[in-house]
Amino acid sequence: MIDLGSREPANVAPPEEAEPERRRGVFRRLRESLSKSRQALQEEITASVFEKIDDETWELLEEALILADVGAPTTAAVVERLEHEVDSGAVPAEGEAIRNRLIEILAEVASTARAKIDLSAQPAVLMMVGVNGTGKTTTIGKIAWHLSKEFGLSVVMGAGDTYRAAAAEQLAEWADRAGAELVRGQAGADPGSVAYDAVSAAVARNADVVIVDTAGRLHTQDNLMEELAKVRRVIGKLIPEAPHETLISIDATTGQNGLRQAKVFSEAVEVDGVVITKLDGTARGGIALAISAELGIPVKLIGVGEKLEDLRPFDPSEYATALLSE
Amino acid sequence: MFDQLSDRLQSTLSDVRSRGKLGESDIDSAMRDIRLALLEADVNFKVVKAFTKTLKERCLGAEVMDSLDPGQQVVKIVNEELADLMGGTGAELAMASSGPTVILMAGLQGSGKTTACAKLAQYFKKQRKDVALAACDVYRPAAVDQLVTMGQRAGAHVYEKGTDTDPVDIATWALDRAREERRDVLVIDTAGRLHIDQDLMKELSRIRDKTKPHDVLLVVDAMTGQDAVGVAESFAEAAEFDGVVMTKLDGDARGGAALSVKAVTGKPIMFASTGEKIEDFDRFHPDRMAQRILGMGDVLSLIEKAESQVDEKSAEELEEKLKKDQFTLEDFLTQMKQVRKMGPLSGILGMLPGMGAMKELRNANIDERQLDRTEAIILSMTPAERADPHLIKGRRRKRIADGSGTRVQEVRALVKQFDQMRVMMRSMANGKMPDPQKLMRMSGQVPKPKVRRR
């Protein structure tokens, strides 16, 4: 999930050893957490839908995807493609085959080129952005924990959310758990200066990764988006290529507005990837499909629970399968 | 906030309106557009189906078909049905007859509960009530700190016991304290929870059982998608909530959740949170919101807002002055200050009828700094100059420009604009409505396209 470049993961057990065991656990967890969505989708996509392939079949498929928040344009494109393939005989007009092909198409839509998180630079700068309440600070806490405990990297966190009351305290607790160093400013301080301090501290201490938190903001607030662009510029002054990764967190319960969020944020700060959070609810997170289909921004991580290990790499086909399979 | 939906409905309906008579196929195509517009706005799929069905039946009924202006009738029906869907004319909180009124807040993580608690406290503060908050979110790191800080900002007392006490105990303890200290209102903040988390949902029911709140409010993010309905249903079961607080309505979310929750649970949306500041919180008026969606403006809210800021006597004096053409730059300054007290101009413009239809105006990025400059220019004038701007010539103009840190051209432009405005105001005071676009040009706020810098 993470590109560490030439850096050797130091003084930790090679992750591969623990991996198979955990992988099973993770996918079971993902499947469990998506089971509600699946059940709901299942109700729509039952065998009966495919018993007789006619207009109603496609309509019901469309309904199912709309209910999963995939959005009208992407839904229409996916179903149209499937219908075309069935009509032309490329896919047998039979329930099981159609469902399997649907999973393939959905996975294809969700797949995007570079899904790895690029932390090969030294220090690598990761910036987290997003709308209020989408889980930025929690995600940062989890990422820091993974990098530090699993890969043995030294992590500096910058408490760039100087606006929300107690945001820095929240991050401080996470820094504590992850054993990361926290750089913070006064409440109401300029977030750019906090980012600057955090990155300088990371450079001075030769840290591996610096993660910069930012205040949640609605993408419609131009002045706050401009502030975000400024934070990015400030970081770029210290290290020209930085931030190396800018991630946007999007709440899985978000509807079609998630598309606007991803678009506007990436216009302001060149977003490299999406983290879909709170996928453990009944929300189906279909907006992830819409975002990669319409904007080409890859989904890189998903959050499927409150535990530290519940932050996982996004696997398109696993995701599509979990969404549809029995 | 409902821009997209409003656009869609307006273009659909202006199509219908331009025709004299409507056939069933006209209605059908309008319904298809409305259906798609609502889906794009995240209105729940099932709600959309039911809504368009009712709508179609009414539109095909005699009230439209026999009407002289069927298009107008369709607009009226859509307006009525939208308002009905969102909860009729608005609902009131239940208040205690004696002792503290207890309000329990619940919702998913990140929906904005803690902020909504503080905003609700501020709302009661404005009614001169003694408000206390109970910090029962012991799970999220620093949630208690956040409530303490925001509670202080709202001028509310915060009952907290750190994070090592059971939330149910904190709630009952806080209620006892609120009774002893004779508070008027106690707002209980709870941890965000997933509606499928059995343990936490049980904890919520227990807080409810122990504190017997007068109102339980569910906090819902306006950006929620199709899942909003499922969430609301689960919370209805565990917490039997009475109403909804919609948060983050200041974004461009199309707010379909707002439409769906009432339709599915029957619980009205009571409050709307519309901004970052603690004052950005207000009663939700479904009927007015429906009119706003259709671009019919929200004049009532605007009037209420104005009433709360402008005192009646000075308004009457102003009207007198306008009629007699005695309006001076001094009055203009006072007016401008009063209008600005109502909040950012862009928000106020959205409430005006017809503004929604004017795209370029809606996207106008009103530069508040320009207003600051205008204020500075007037403040640099002598009383005599403010009373009679025609005095302002060469050297006076230079002095004013220097004094206000502006340029001579700006001073000249302001005086010219003021002259034009006075003419227009006079006609307004005599009962003629001006063209809003002309109004904009005169106030020097020429809409410019948004430029997004990288």
pLDDT at A248: 94
Chain B residue with the nearest C-alpha to that of A176: B141
Q: Show which of residues 248-277 on chain A sit within 8 Å of chain B, judged by CB atoms.
A: 251, 253-258, 260-261, 267-268
- Rounded CA-CA distance B275/B254 in Å is 16
Q: What are the distances in angstroms from CA A204 to CA A122, A156, A207, B51, B241? A: 11, 11, 8, 62, 53
Chain A positions in Cβ-Cβ contact with residue B226 (cut-off 8 Å): 66-69, 255, 284
- Decide if the complex's ipTM is over 0.85: no
In this predicted model, what pLDDT tens digit does every residue of A99-132 receive, in sequence order? Answer: 888 888 888 887 765 678 888 888 999 999 999 8
Q: Show which of residues 369-428 on chain B sit within 8 Å of chain A, judged by CB atoms.
A: none
pLDDT at A219: 87
Interchain CB contact of A284 with B (< 8 Å): yes
Measure CB to CB from residue B112 to each of A71, A133, A172 and give the nearest one: A133
Chain B residue with the nearest C-alpha to that of A73: B40
Specify the pairing of strand A124-130 against strand A2-3. Answer: unpaired
Task: Categorize the per-residue pLDDT at A154 as very low, low, confident or very high, splitting at 50, 70 and 90.
Answer: very high
Specify the pairing of strand A311-313 against strand A299-303. Answer: antiparallel
**All structural domains of chain B:** 3-86 (1.20.120.140), 101-284 (3.40.50.300), 302-442 (1.10.260.30)
State whether B224 and A133 contact (CB < 8 Å).
no
% pLDDT > 70, chain A: 82
| Chain A interface, best mutation among B163, B227, B237, B366, by max A CB count within 10 A | B227
- The string of DSSP letters for B21-65 reads S--HHHHHHHHHHHHHHHHHTT--HHHHHHHHHHHHHHHHSHHHH
Task: Categorize the per-residue pLDDT at A16 as very low, low, confident or very high, splitting at 50, 70 and 90.
Answer: very low
CB of A274 within 8 A of CB of A307?
no
- Rounded CA-CA distance A230/A227 in Å is 5
- Rounded CA-CA distance B97/B412 in Å is 61
Task: Categorize the per-residue pLDDT at A89 as very low, low, confident or very high, splitting at 50, 70 and 90.
Answer: confident
Chain A positions in Cβ-Cβ contact with residue B365 (cut-off 8 Å): 222
- Would you give per-residue pLDDT tens digits along chain B (454 residues)? 344 555 665 666 666 656 666 677 777 777 777 777 777 778 888 888 888 888 888 888 767 666 666 666 777 777 778 777 777 666 788 898 888 999 999 998 888 899 999 999 999 999 999 999 999 998 888 889 999 999 999 999 999 998 889 999 999 999 999 999 999 999 999 988 887 788 888 999 999 999 999 999 999 988 888 888 888 888 898 888 999 998 887 766 666 776 788 888 888 889 988 877 888 888 887 776 666 555 554 555 555 565 565 566 666 777 777 667 777 888 888 777 777 766 666 565 555 544 444 444 444 555 677 778 888 898 999 988 888 888 888 889 999 999 988 888 888 888 888 887 777 767 666 655 555 555 555 444 444 434 443 3
pLDDT averaged over chain A?
81
Chain A positions in Cβ-Cβ contact with residue B111 (cut-off 8 Å): 133
Full-model pTM: 0.69
